[in-house]
Structure 1
Amino acid sequence: MEILEELSKDRPRIRAALFDFDGTISTLRHGWESIMEPFMIEMITGGTPSDDELIREVREYIDASTGIQTIFQMQWLADAVKRYRRNPYAPEDPWQYKAEYNRRLMEPVKKRITTILSGGKSPEGYLIKDSMKFLKALDECGVDIYAASGTDDVDVVNEAHVLGVDGYFKEIAGAPEGRADCSKEAVLKRLINDYGLRGPEVVVIGDGKVEIALGREVGAVTIGVASNEEKRCGVNPTKRQRLITAGAHAIVGDFEKTCEILKWLGLEE
């Protein structure tokens, strides 16, 4: 555990935890970038040869947008298609791009889910190391646990169930069908405005800069999960730098040091 900013000694006790899902708990969608990048390039170029500048722009955008709703990424893609003017047959509607990207992404995701359901691999094989142990520990500490994701609501709810972690969450919020709303921002607003929690009573935990930045905006404690999704343990240096830039109070690669994290949060002696 890498502590970047010490927490105030007189802060209130943590009462709620908001988790990102993909890359923070689940690795079912590991490799989504390798699907989104060629998809975006294909839509922009219309199948004509791409160039280094275009590839670099797409990669930089994907890296910068990690954690936001997919529809916002597809809105960027629709704008890029218009800007480059290389694909006269490309649709204008970002929702059409989202539907096709999601179709391509779900092919490997469905295979992984089938592997779990058929008994070919245990759910733990697609969980960041000790994430279930950490969820259980938070629950035993009396912390209300929420999940919010840029993944479609119906899919993230199903994937949490397949992995056996859904029972730990008071709410699982994914991208709402047909609406370009940020689920992470919406859940945080409910915790603060509707449930009456103060910022320091909430810990936001995720591998994307979006949830870390949103957490800092409301005064929450933030833990960046710089996960290596392929190994499901250890620190990904690219994610680590992204999360530091976003303002995370602390960085972990996984949840192996559950006791250390809980002590830092003030939930254990």
Structure 2
Amino acid sequence: MSSTRQIGRVKAVLFDFDGTLSTLRAGWEETMAPFFKEAISGSYSITPEESALLEQEIEDYIDQSTGIQTIFQMRWLAEKVKEKGWNVEILGEWDYKAEYNRRLLLKVEERVRGLRDGLYDPTDFLIKGSESLLEELHKEGIPMYIASGTDHPDVVNEAEVLGVKSYFKEIAGAPVGRADCSKEKVIQELLSQQDFRKEGLAVIGDGKVEIRLAKENGAAAFGLASDEIEREGINPIKQQRLEAAGADRIAGDFTDIAQWLEWLGISRRAE
């Protein structure tokens, strides 16, 4: 927890998806990093020193860009390929995104198929306590939204197979083939609605992008420093990132429902 800010009763909640509610895409960094290195180095005989420096540069970029739309990460890759000049094959950002998505989805689609076929349970890929919090907010009549940098059809599909789609008034992923900032768009649209004020909006996410947007727009910013492997507990790297972004509160999961409801200004009803 990074402050003791009180927001009053929440009027709407905006969730990030990957790493905040869903772990279906856990491990995306392990797909992106080698892909970036392969695309940048090409067939060039990279020295051990150059390799180590490149790997560190890629790691640093992935860390600081977590949460942004994938196409912007691919734009960085395209520029880096040109800058290094090691790979004679230079693709466009959308071509890089298509190949990255192809590699990532090999893992994600296996998990989605397993969910549809009953081999996995949705709780295997949800941050612990998330279903309970969503149910509590639903009972309270709090409108909920998802904003994600993942392609819109994929976010909708993954929310459906995880059994949480029905909780949300709107799900907004990245527009396919367009470099729009869906998170900023959804937040701005919420703030423009006449029937609720910006001080009633809470944003919950594991990346600095949504925390920054919340702070810039006067909303309460709750960081979810999730361990995507265990699905509970604090990830210290995410915690540091979220603290630096100015999160009002930080937790590792949603298991302490009473604490979350208190943060959101909701008095739990007597049973």
Q: Place the TM-score, normalised by the shorter chain, in its bin.
A: over 0.9
Q: What TM-score comes out, normalization by structure 1 length? A: 0.95
Aligned to 2:102: 103
Q: Is the 8 A contact 1:202 1:220 kept in 2?
A: yes
User: How far apart in 2 are the matches of 1:131 and 1:198?
Assistant: 25
Q: For residue 13 of structure 1, report the CA deviation from its aligned partner.
A: 2.6
Structure 1 residue 12: Cα displacement: 4.6
**Deviation for aligned residue 1:79:** 0.7
Query: Residue 128 of structure 1 aligns with which residue?
Result: 127
Could you tell me which amino acid in structure 2 is paired with residue 64 of structure 1?
Q
Q: Which residue of 2 aligns with 1:234?
A: 233
Q: Deviations over 1:157-199 (max 9, x none)?
A: 0000000000000000000011101111000000012455322
2:89 matched residue in structure 1: 89
Q: Given that residues 8 and 264 in structure 2 are in contact (C-alpha distance below 8 angstroms), is that contact kept between their aligned partners in structure 1?
A: no
Note if contact 1:46-1:90 (Cα within 8 Å) is conserved in structure 2.
Answer: no
* Residue 251 (structure 1) aligned with residue 247 (structure 2): no
Which residue in 1 is equivalent to 2:156?
Answer: 157
Spell out structure 1 runs of 4+ moving beyond 4 A.
Answer: none
Corresponding residue for 1:266?
265
Distance in 1 (alpha carbons) for counterparts of 2:110 and 2:8 = 44
Identical-residue share of aligned pairs (%) = 52
Could you tell me how far apart the structure 2 residues matched to 1:250 and 1:176 are? 30
Q: What secondary structure sits across from 1:51 in the alignment?
A: helix
Question: Is contact 2:8-2:265 (8 Å) kept?
Answer: no
- Larger mean Cα displacement after TM superposition, 30-39 or 109-118: 109-118
Q: Which residue of 1 aligns with 2:2?
A: 4
Task: Give 1:58's aligned residue.
Answer: 58
Of stretches 188-197 and 22-31 in structure 1, the one that deviates more from structure 2 is 188-197
Q: Which residue of 2 aligns with 1:209?
A: 208
1:200 counterpart residue number: 199
Matched letter for residue 245 of structure 1: A
The answer as to whether partners of 1:206 and 1:224 remain within 8 angstroms in 2 is yes
CA contact (8 A) 2:66 2:208 kept: yes
Q: Retained in 1: the 8 A contact 2:223–2:250?
A: yes
Tell me if the contact between 1:15 and 1:142 (Cα under 8 Å) persists in the aligned partners: no
Whole-Å Cα distance in 2 between the matches of residues 14 and 47 of structure 1?
A: 54
Q: Distance in 2 between matches of 1:195 and 1:106?
A: 40
- Amino acid corresponding to residue 15 of structure 1 in structure 2: K
- SS at 2:89 equivalent: coil
2:20 pairs with 2, 15, 24, which one?
Answer: 24
TM norm structure 2: 0.95
| Whole-angstrom distance in 1 between the partners of 2:41 and 2:52 | 13
The residue aligned with 1:182 is 181
Partner Cα distance (2:195, 2:264) in 1:
20
Cα shift at 1:90: 2.2
Q: Residue in 1 aligned with 2:75?
A: 75
Task: Compute the displacement of 1:241 (Å).
Answer: 0.4
Quick one: structure 1 residues 200 and 60, their matched pair in 2 at CA, closer, same or farther if it must change by over 3 Å? same
Could you tell me how far apart the structure 1 residues matched to 2:171 and 2:61 are? 27
Structure 2 counterpart of 1:183, which letter?
S
Greater mean alpha carbon deviation, residues 42-51 or residues 131-140: 42-51
User: Which residue does 1:33 correspond to in 2?
Assistant: 29
| C-alpha contact 1:130 1:254 (8 A) present in aligned 2 | yes
State the aligned residue count: 264
Q: Which runs of 5+ in 1 are unaligned?
A: none
Q: What is the distance in 2 between the residues matched to 1:187 and 1:196?
A: 16
